[in-house]
Amino acid sequence: MASEQSSSESRGKNGGRAVREKYGVEFFREIGRKGGNSLKERGANYVELGRLGGEVTKARHGSQHYSDIGRKGGHNGRGATKKGSGRRKEVR
């Protein structure tokens, strides 16, 4: 069962790579823009959608999830800080 899941994940990853190689990165930006515009035209309320998404996440993962991700702060999954995150020290 686990091998079926990992093979489908790699198939999806490889499919994304194939699309990127064929159409370029701009393809993904364009479909994202079209999707956002389509939702906007249908009267999507992004504030409401965000609130509902937060409620679903809390129901799935619990309140502790937010504490855990808050504790990570500006760190990505590997423990290194993301480029450009955090405050810059002022050089005098």
Looking at the DSSP bridge assignments, the partners of residue 81 are 75
pLDDT digits (tens, 9 = 90+) for 42-88: 888 888 888 999 999 999 999 888 888 887 766 555 555 555 555 55
The whole-number pLDDT of residue 16 equals: 85
pTM (two decimals): 0.38
Extents of the domains making up the chain: 2-63
pLDDT digits (tens, 9 = 90+) for 15-47: 888 888 999 989 999 999 998 888 888 888 888
pLDDT of residue 91 exceeding 80, the answer is: no
